[in-house]
Chains A and B, each alone.
Chain A
Amino acid sequence: MDGLDDIVEEFLVESHENLDQLDTDLVALEQEPNSRERLSSIFRTIHTIKGTSGFLAFNRLEEVAHVGENMLSRLRDGALDLTPTRTSVLLRMVDTVRSLLASIEATGGEGTVDVSAVVAEISAAMEDRPAEAAAPAPAAPVAEVAAAAGTEAAEAPAAAKPARKTARKPAVEAPVAAAPAVVEVAEVPAPRPAPAAETEHAPAAPSADDNSPARRAVADSTIRVDVDLLDELMLLVGELVLTRNQIVQYVGRSNDTDLVRASQRLNLIASELQEGVMKTRMQPIDHIWSKLPRVVRDLGIQCGKNVRLEMEGKDTELDKTLLEAVKDPLTHLVRNSVDHGIETPDARRGAGKPAEGVLTLRAKHESGQVVVEVADDGAGIDPAKIGAKAVERGVVTEAQLARMTPTDVLQMIFLPGFSTAAAVTNVSGRGVGMDVVKTNIEAIGGTIEVESVAGKGTVCRLRIPLTLAIVPALTVECAGDRYAIPQISLQELVSLDAEKAANAVEEVGGAPVYRLRGELLPLVRLTDVLGLTSDRHDGHVVIAVLRSEGRRFGLVVDRVINTEEIVVKAVGGQLKAIGLYSGATVLGDGTVALILDVQALARRALRAESAERQEARVAAAVAAKDTEGQRERMLLASIGGGRRVAIPLDTVTRLEQVRTENVERVGNREVVQYRGAILPIVRLDRHLGAYGESDREVLEVIVYSDHGRSVAIVVEEILDIVDGEAAIRSDIEDMGLLGSAVLGEKVTELLDVRAAILAADPAFYTAGPAHSTPEGVSASLMEV
């Protein structure tokens, strides 16, 4: 019994591999209908499946394969022409074979898969040419033999009948069938000498076909290994690399030449071992590409478009896990390109392009990453339309849009707000589920960007790390601690001495920028993001220029330590929730360093700080002018450390006192039960980096409610309610503040209420029961 199961399993494995090849071949065949090589390759695959399924008594499978084989043999012999209908039918046959195989795999039997429909379809497709109806038509079911013999009219049905049976097991042919079989072998060599013999020995024989010889050869010289085992090996190698790093560092201080030599050897071997183990997990990207020709073809026919798929760099290898992870996003991009990118033949001709669109997949290694491009020569995306849509949907404001470069505008198709907008899809031709694609790519540490020239086409470029476990990273120091920044996001490093920094780092409306070769690079201080204080006071500025989501920004760190290969370790749930760290690693000297999540960092720092704040400020200035004399009532509160904060009164719903002991925790957030609901708390002193007394018994709380959601803002003491005067303001700012003003004869900081609320409840504006615009609070602030 076991023996039989093994045979079935082998059959399944082999057949699945063959079917993938078949999809590719069938589609390729449409491009070059006269390729006998392709036809023979296809014929062989089906023939093998038919033979084995007969042997294993999978009758329905045999039946489908058999009629498919009939058609293929006639195509191969030129008795039939390959039409799109026939290709479709053949592809449908492949699908049926697949579902039969799936059923066999799951249940051991053929299950309830119905084959009669597809059998009828194939038979019908074979006969749809009235021209050859006369003699071959009645003989259609047995046409394989007739056609193969090349003397169709002469063959008697009597001879054909037994021949059909023998086809199951060509190797042990009955004498009756010998004649047609011999004819077949004898006939084929004429047009195509080399692979002729294989028709009868399909499974083992090498073929002259494009990549099938490589596959078969590989299959013979490989063993199947459990992926879990490889994962474990990979982990161990990771540990080894770490230990190696440590030893190399220690030995570097030693004078013992033997030890140094041994450590150098260890260094070398560990590197090679790491590379070797990584290679075991590598697979050519063709594994996921091979399914795409079919996708493109089907979708092209469905959309009435003429699309040619070209692939460059099929052999580019990447980690199996990553390959799996990339599969769906890549398919999505390809579908998008066919569906929306490439125009209909008429439109293309109208635009002076060839009617056939070209979709190009490119894969290559580039500085330790795999770059995969999905490029089409379609209509392209018009940034103006994207921009207009973004404004309409409230994703950005007009003013923000005006400041964005066309490239930045294009990247907005990856924003979640866009994916759900059907209108955008119609206008721009992109955007369905692009945020999902992006999320998936980022989940594996990759990046995605889009380039487009209106009328010329669109390129989506994925950058994927070679492997997840070990990544090259830059280690930097900030406030005495070390952090790792994955190289994939790093573009360059800029180091400015005190003198230079004083001139080169400028401020645009309060936001620090650096002129990098004439372009303004927004700067983000890591200390600010992390709520730490820099320990560098000599005025030097070190900028790591990072790229995320098509935007560049400079991360100001205290020092750059070095670059090293780091082994990524997952961090616990508590730390993941912070959303700034993608993991942790152990450095060469054994200390733990956090790995910064550059995407999250950019999202947090850039949108919150530069765009929105500037926006609010501009609007505030305008509003102040317009409504001169109008004053806003502000609530004054102290937050400890002698700092005073002003909060617009219309963002205050109630003032409450909460006993400290009633503060509870949900995840890493503090909450308090309040009027039958759970109220998230933000402690303003921590939020703004002040240090109030922490052990108070009663907390002063400002409750803000909007659309059924509430948050509580904890302050040290409520001081007063005053009339805000827009006149005396300055742009001295800090995280979480909009600026400062003199209120009640004292300098008072103006709280960025929106940021404070988001700190307590990140979902406040997005998940409210009622619809609330993201600009809700900013708007109220702008009335100042």
Chain B
Amino acid sequence: MSTATETRTPDGATPAIGGQLATFWLDGDLYGVEVAHVQEVLRSQSLTRVPLAPTAVAGLINLRGQVVTAIELRERLGRPPRPADTDAVVIVVRLHGEAVSLLVDAIADVVDVDPADFEAPPDTLDGTARDLIRGAFKLDGQLLLALDVHKAVSA
């Protein structure tokens, strides 16, 4: 799955994750997704819930007339729910022509990463999250977790 999707990245970059990552915060951790996948970032949107959907599906949002599924990344990564008084930030990613959105805590910078800093997921990572995280970049004073966005949205 991952090799197949990586060959499809529009920038044609090497499968080794390098280049630019759009980063965001989630439950105190810093995550990153390839900039090429990111279509836009929106502030909190009103969600239409979808009864009987998988728990990670937070609902549907109206993106300028387009209906986009929103994935609650906290649920997806097995983290506790977002505190009630904070609003989620919506990252809209485009995969195979279809837009999907991820709900995260806060958006951070776009970071240039060096493949040399890359390491496989730390062993401390637990079950669900482990599948979704391709590895970590050792930045100064902070680990940047590279999210496998394809797996993350296939909730």
Contact = CB atoms under 8 A, between A and B. Distances in A.
B49 A481 contact: yes
A591 B63 CA distance: 10
A530 B51 contact: yes
A590 B65 CA distance: 8
Nearest to A662: B127
B61 interface: yes
A584 B60 contact: yes
A271 interface: no
A515 to B, nearest CB: 29
A531 B48 contact: no
A662 B130 CA distance: 12
24 contacts: A239-B65, A242-B65, A531-B51, A569-B66, A572-B69, A572-B98, A573-B154, A574-B69, A574-B155, A580-B52, A584-B48, A585-B67, A586-B65, A591-B62, A592-B59, A593-B48, A594-B50, A594-B60, A661-B126, A661-B127, A662-B127, A665-B128, A667-B154, A668-B54
B57 interface: yes
Contacts of A662: 127
Interface string B65-107: 1110100000000000000000000000000001010000000
A592 B60 contact: yes
A578 B52 contact: yes
B53 A575 contact: yes
Given A572-B69, A574-B57, A590 B127 contact: no
A344 to B, nearest CB: 52
Contacts, number: 74
Interface string A559-599: 00000000001111111001011001110001111100000
B46 interface: yes
A664 B46 CA distance: 30
A780 interface: no
A574 B72 CA distance: 13
Contacts of A242: 65
A532 interface: yes
A243 interface: yes
Interface of B: 46, 48-54, 57, 59-62, 65-67, 69, 98, 100, 126-128, 131, 154-155
Contacts of A571: 60, 67, 69
A784 B133 CA distance: 50
Given A481-B51, A586-B67, A662-B127, 10 more contacts: A573-B154, A580-B51, A586-B65, A592-B48, A592-B61, A593-B48, A594-B50, A661-B128, A664-B127, A668-B54
Contacts of A481: 48-49, 51
Nearest to A695: B80
B50 A591 contact: no
Contact of A530 (B52, B98, B126, B128): B52
A586 B62 contact: yes
A728 B28 CA distance: 54
Contact of A531 (B46, B52, B128): B52
Nearest to A694: B55
Interface of A: 239, 242-243, 481, 530-532, 569-575, 578, 580-581, 584-586, 590-594, 661-665, 667-668
Contacts of B53: 574-575, 578, 668
Contacts of B100: 572
A532 B50 CA distance: 11
A663 B54 CA distance: 14
A491 to B, nearest CB: 24
A570 B69 CA distance: 11
A50 to B, nearest CB: 48
A531 to B, nearest CB: 6
B109 to A, nearest CB: 29
Contacts of A530: 51-52
Contact of B62 (A574, A575, A578, A592): A592
Contacts of B46: 591
A664 B62 CA distance: 30
A482 to B, nearest CB: 8
Contacts of A663: 127
| 10 closest Cβ pairs, A-B complex | A530-B51, A668-B54, A592-B48, A572-B69, A569-B67, A661-B127, A584-B67, A592-B60, A592-B62, A239-B65
A752 B103 CA distance: 37
Contacts of B59: 592
A665 to B, nearest CB: 7
A174 to B, nearest CB: 61
A680 B155 CA distance: 16
Contacts of A584: 48, 60, 67
Nearest to B61: A592
A575 B60 CA distance: 10
B52 A592 contact: no
A686 to B, nearest CB: 9
A351 to B, nearest CB: 52
A665 B60 contact: no
A164 B121 CA distance: 83
Contacts of B48: 481, 584, 591-594
A664 B128 CA distance: 7
Contacts of B49: 481
Contacts of B51: 481, 530-532, 580
Contacts of B69: 571-572, 574-575
B58 to A, nearest CB: 11
Contacts of B54: 574, 665, 668
A531 B53 CA distance: 11
A245 to B, nearest CB: 11
A590 B127 CA distance: 38
A354 B65 CA distance: 59
Contacts of B50: 575, 578, 581, 594
A243 B65 CA distance: 8
